[in-house]
Amino acid sequence: MAISRAARRPARILIAVTVAAVSLTLSPGIGSAEPDPAPPTAASEPQTTAEAQQQFADLSHELEVVTEQYNDAVILRDQREQEVAATQAQLRAVQADVAELDVEVRQIARGAYTGDAIASFTALMTSGSPQEFLDRVNTLEAISGHNNSRARELVQAQLQAGDLAAQAAHAQAAAEATAADIEAKKARIETDLPVAEALLASLAEQDRQAALALAASHGQAGDPAARGSERASRGNERQDSEDVPPAPVSAPTQAAQIAVDTAYAQLGDPYVWAADGPDSFDCSGLTMYSYAAAGISLPHSSRMQSSMGVNVSRSQLQPGDLVFYYSPVSHVAIYVGNGQVIHAPNTGSVVQKSDVDMWGAYSHAQRVALP
């Protein structure tokens, strides 16, 4: 049974990304193996409806890819900032040790000006017996060895402090580079998004639905225009999803059931880039939000989610499994049974239920709610 709209606001759960999900490096780059998609080539105003639909579809897919890369970068920036803070804290502790050892070694140096021979002679002259003399000399040698050990500790601490200072500087530079990358991606999205929205607004309703379908079909074999017209002829998918109660879904685990029910409760909410609820979503924001309701933390990134849990074959899909699209991965949906998924498709669309093979860009599936 779907969760009511009034009751579908689970407590926000902090993103927890394990080392297995994301390997944090100190490289100044973003850490993603995939570059941004090339910006669209400058073109004249579309002359026909078909051209406007195609331009919207191309731009919509590019925006989706950049949005997911933006989500990756935000997570990486946060991790790198944590790395900077941890390294700087360790550096401060080592610097305190250096200061303490430095004072001790200086005191030792000032007390050693008489030299070992004078110290031994003094021990001889003040000893009451040969055995007492030997005991005192042994004590002096032990003290000397301790002093040498403290001096070595000081040198080692100084070297460690130097290494940590270099690591902290490198981590800071990496964090700053990632922050700059985030701003660049944000600027790209904020520049291209109004263009896509304007293209969509310029179309009549039927042509607009066809353009949205064409965007959702990006990468699928066949005639894109025909696919768009066929999708539009089926009517408003969002309205169908809201008017017809979903068939009962039986997920294999309680967590998967909660995630599926939560996803159902979001049907009709608008797609907004980088949004993770409670009233608007991008694709990975929706799956993150749905599983947060079940107490499972996912990163706000389709690429990072695509390596979590265990891999599931196409024939073994169960409700709650995450389904990923494109290569490299740039979209994620949640499987709800009967060959259907719920997802937040792209700019101008809403959270909706669709066929699992809707795009012809099926990549793989992962099960994150394990028994």
Active site residues: 283, 331, 343
Cα–Cα distance between 319 and 249 in angstroms, integer?
A: 7
Distance CA 344, CA 334 (A): 10
Contact 137, 88 (CB under 8 A): no
CA-to-CA distance for 346 and 270, rounded, in angstroms?
9
* CA–CA separation, 214 and 359 (whole Å): 10
Beta bridge partners of 323: 333, 365
The CA distance from 174 to 364, in Å, is 32
Chain length of the chain: 371
Task: Please enumerate in sequence order all residues whose Cβ is within 8 A of that of 53, keeping only pairs 6 or more positions apart, or say none.
Answer: 203, 207, 210, 211, 214, 225, 228
CA–CA separation, 26 and 170 (whole Å): 7
Q: If you search the block for the tokens 């920036």, which residue do you land on?
A: 77
